[in-house]
Amino acid sequence: MKSRERIQKRIINDQIHFESLFNFVQTEEGHKLHQGFINAIRTMFPWYWDEICGLADGSEILFEHLLVLNFANETRTALRLLQEKTIDHTQQENNPSETKGCSTVLINRTDTNTFALLHNEDNTAGLYDTAFLVEADIKSSPYDGGTRHSPNERFLAYCYAGVIPGTAFGTNMHGFVFALNALLPNYIGENRIPRQIINRALLSVANENELDKLLHGTPIAFGFCINGTFFHADNNQQRYLLNYELGPNLNSNDNMTTKNFISKCLVLNSKQYEQYKENNNDICIALNYLLHYNHYDRLQGLIVERPGLLSSRNRAQRGLEFGEIRTEKDALTLLGDRANKQFPIFMIPDMDTNNTATLCTIHFNFNTYQLIIYRNNPKDNSEPHLVYNLADLWKQNDNIVK
């Protein structure tokens, strides 16, 4: 299926979600919102703005519609906040476009020799047959008369039709692996960088310091959560997992090094935990494993979160009922769970309410250098839809490090 056909099919499949957004961006408020984002992107990340323009040119999809797809979180929230002035809030909560989300399991254990990231990619059912996996190799180009250059990039990423890469999960040649959870502040940061652009930038980061600098120094417009690691095949001591919760700090200014609310958590095995807790009492640490969904666990006091989020909180409660996660099998059983009929962890298109689906379940197995992708429920011992060997991609990192 060609790119244009995929995007058109997605828009048709999810017309109920997009029609109001397409109308909103034709208004003065919607146009101003997007123009503020465009100005910020062209200043900080002009190469990713060119990527959006290229996608629009190549697909021949209406440019304003492409912007809605790439600024969807911010646009939807801005419209909802505007509507809440005249529409009862309980009606807003039942809006099907607001109930989707992802579930993630990070495991770092020595007792079961498990080091893995597993994740349900959940979204509207219209993406079920229009999302795709892309492998890209992008060479650096000069910008601003050669004073700046776009990054050299080689990565693998799961993409939504009409959206530049980075929105879901991926990995790059530097060994950075990530899967994202939507987080939902009850506000947006105007004239800042939309979530999709900062997610796209994740595919170029080379190390943890660079990632921290990106997240602290880039004023983001909306919230999200990063689950990931920098995988180095020849360094077992540095094999730990990372979880970041982020949201826009609207009170930040140009003199502040941190533009956002950020909570960083390390997922350590028992041996690493003993070493870290002696010298780093102020660092958030999760022992052996961590579960994350679509609400803030550590920034509740700083970020005004969207009320409700019943799907996320019910999935989290079900995760607690499972008890300790010890193996990949435990994680896949959790990610395939459907015990809560109204808010299942694994969502099936056409069966569950609100037109939401688990697009795929993924398993980054760092012991075997594989990305394993399931389309059917992984709890049912289903065969993977795809097993992708990441050794060649990650070997780029080994060559750089050595």
pLDDT category of residue 401 using cuts at 50, 70 and 90? very low
Q: Which two three-digit tokens encode residue 174?
A: 């530097």
Residue 72 burial by Cβ neighbours in a 10 Å radius (0-12, 13-18, 19+):
buried
Return the pLDDT at 93. Answer: 40
Compute the chain's Rg from CA coordinates.
20
Q: Which two three-digit tokens encode residue 344?
A: 């299942």
List pLDDT tens digits, range 278-329.
776 678 999 999 999 999 999 988 999 998 899 999 999 999 999 999 999 9
- CB 188, CB 210: distance < 8 Å: no
- CB 6, CB 132: distance < 8 Å: yes
- CB 40, CB 91: distance < 8 Å: no
pLDDT at residue 271 is higher than 70: yes
- CB 71, CB 200: distance < 8 Å: no
Question: Mapping DSSP to helix (H, G, I), strand (E, B) and coil, where does residue 10 land?
Answer: helix
List pLDDT tens digits, range 321-357.
999 999 999 999 999 999 999 999 999 987 666 778 9
Question: Mapping DSSP to helix (H, G, I), strand (E, B) and coil, where does residue 346 land?
Answer: coil
pLDDT at residue 360 is higher than 80: yes
> In this structure, how many other beta carbons lie within 10 angstroms of the beta carbon of residue 28?
7
Segments of the chain assigned to CATH 1.10.10: 3-96
Q: Which two three-digit tokens encode residue 315?
A: 């999935």
pLDDT category of residue 88 using cuts at 50, 70 and 90? low
Q: Which of 155-169, 190-204, 230-244, 374-388 bottoms out in mean pLDDT, i.e. has the lowest?
A: 230-244
* Best CA proximity match to 311, nearest among 291, 293, 298, 338: 293
Quote the CATH superfamily of domain 99-401. Answer: Penicillin V Acylase; Chain A (3.60.60.10)
Residue 199 burial by Cβ neighbours in a 10 Å radius (0-12, 13-18, 19+):
buried
The sign of the torsion formed by the CA atoms of 47, 52, 55, 58 equals negative
Return the pLDDT at 282. Answer: 74
pLDDT category of residue 99 using cuts at 50, 70 and 90? low
Segments of the chain assigned to CATH 3.60.60.10: 99-401
Report, as an integer, the average pLDDT of 119-125: 95
> What is the C-alpha separation between 53 and 218, in angstroms, rounded?
22
Q: Which fold has domain 3-96?
A: Arc Repressor Mutant, subunit A (1.10.10)
Question: Mapping DSSP to helix (H, G, I), strand (E, B) and coil, where does residue 116 land?
Answer: strand
Extended beta strands in 55-124, E state = 103-109, 114-124
pLDDT at residue 91 is higher than 50: no
Return the pLDDT at 353. Answer: 60
List pLDDT tens digits, range 13-33.
999 889 999 999 999 999 999
Return the pLDDT at 244. Answer: 98
Sheet holding 114-124, edge to edge: 289-292, 103-109, 114-124, 356-365, 370-374, 386-389
Amino acid at 95: N
Tell me what the pLDDT averaged over the chain comes to: 92
List pLDDT tens digits, range 64-74.
999 999 999 99
> What is the C-alpha separation between 104 and 113, in angstroms, rounded?
19
The sign of the torsion formed by the CA atoms of 199, 109, 231, 130 equals negative
* Best CA proximity match to 272, nearest among 262, 285, 261, 282: 285
pLDDT category of residue 392 using cuts at 50, 70 and 90? very high
φ and ψ at residue 240, rounded to 5 degrees: -135, 165
Report, as an integer, the average pLDDT of 162-180: 97
> In this structure, how many other beta carbons lie within 10 angstroms of the beta carbon of residue 98?
19
